Structure 1
Amino acid sequence: MMIPILKKSDYETIKALIEGIHPTQRTKEVGTLQSELRRAKIVEDDKISQNVIQLGSYFEVREITSKRQLCLTLTLPGEANLQEQRVSILSPLGVALIGFQKGKEFEWQLPAGKRTFIIEKVSAPTSLTTT
């Protein structure tokens, strides 16, 4: 099982986001994201590889079976907009991808069933959100 790699500022942002969600509003993805945070390797912001998907990263993944390619940017929930290819960290795919690197294959249970993806491209965040 792959260990996600998170930069410290993303870890703190995501942790605060989860803590701010009322218990009655917590989805299965929120619980999964909490688990991912617990097992993640946390690194200093300047030590994170540009090939690791972070908040604000643009990435391209391909679903192995269908060869369908998704080109998305990982965002906070308030910035998510599928028409603009901006996917929330709280979405099933967002939870699946945070902290993983270009070239990695992973399986994830999506609403349509379990799928295998490969991360083909990752671009570093273009704008950093400061708190």
Structure 2
Amino acid sequence: MVAQLHLLMNELDHARLERLLERPEYAKMPVAEALAERLDQADVVDPQEIPADLVSMHSRVRFRDLKADITLEKELVYPHNLDPQATDQLSVLAPLGAALLGARVGQEVHWQLPNGKDAALVVEEILHQPEAAGELFR
């Protein structure tokens, strides 16, 4: 589903995502298996070791959808934090959200959508990253 470089993430997000994927309502989602594999292989570091150009949970990211040639701005959130009325949030358990997790500014990310089509994006800017803002234990 997601084809990108090895995942680097902070220990808090890693633990939270592992617990999330253990819950039956999330474990059966199509993206869960691919995300679980990435978590198993992730390099886990202290929050203060996360580079400022890396997409972590609760990062607000500007990225370009290369197939549709549009720029989007979204905050990467856990599914239980997703406000159904908000158009500027993206669940980490959505294919696009899982693809963004761990991406770096300037990196092109490719993944396969549930309908079998290929998708691609490039991260243009991280507008807010909790770790860079000193929000290490959010």
- Please indicate, yes or no, whether the TM-score normalized by the shorter chain is above 0.5: yes
Identity %: 23
Runs of 4+ in 1 over 4 A off after TM superposition: 126-130
Deviation digits for residues 26-74 of structure 1 (CA, Å, limit 9, x no counterpart): 1121111101101211111110012111111000110123311121000
In 1, are the aligned partners of 2:47 and 2:136 still within 8 Å (CA)?
A: no
Q: Work out the number of aligned pairs and report it.
A: 129
In 1, are the aligned partners of 2:48 and 2:136 still within 8 Å (CA)?
A: no
Aligned-partner Cα distance in 2 for 1:121–1:30: 26
Equivalence map 1:70-109=2 (5 Å): 70-81=72-83, 83-109=86-112
In the alignment, structure 2 segments of 5+ residues that lack a partner are none
Establish whether residue 32 from structure 1 lines up as the match of residue 37 from structure 2. no
What's the TM-score once normalised by structure 2's chain length? 0.83
Find 1:66's aligned residue among 54, 68, 78: 68
Find 2:125's aligned residue among 114, 121, 124: 121
In the alignment, structure 1 segments of 5+ residues that lack a partner are none
Note closer, same or farther for the CA distance 1:121–1:86 as it changes in structure 2 (3 Å cut). Answer: same
What's the TM-score once normalised by structure 1's chain length? 0.87
Shift of residue 129, structure 1, vs aligned partner = 6.1
In 2, are the aligned partners of 1:56 and 1:128 still within 8 Å (CA)?
A: no
Aligned-partner Cα distance in 1 for 2:26–2:103: 29
Shift of residue 5, structure 1, vs aligned partner = 0.9
User: Where does residue 8 of structure 2 map in the other structure?
Assistant: 5
Note closer, same or farther for the CA distance 1:129–1:91 as it changes in structure 2 (3 Å cut). Answer: farther
Aligned residue for 1:51, secondary structure, equals coil
Aligned residue for 2:67, secondary structure, equals coil
In 2, are the aligned partners of 1:107 and 1:117 still within 8 Å (CA)?
A: yes
Note closer, same or farther for the CA distance 1:13–1:121 as it changes in structure 2 (3 Å cut). Answer: same
RMSD: 2.1
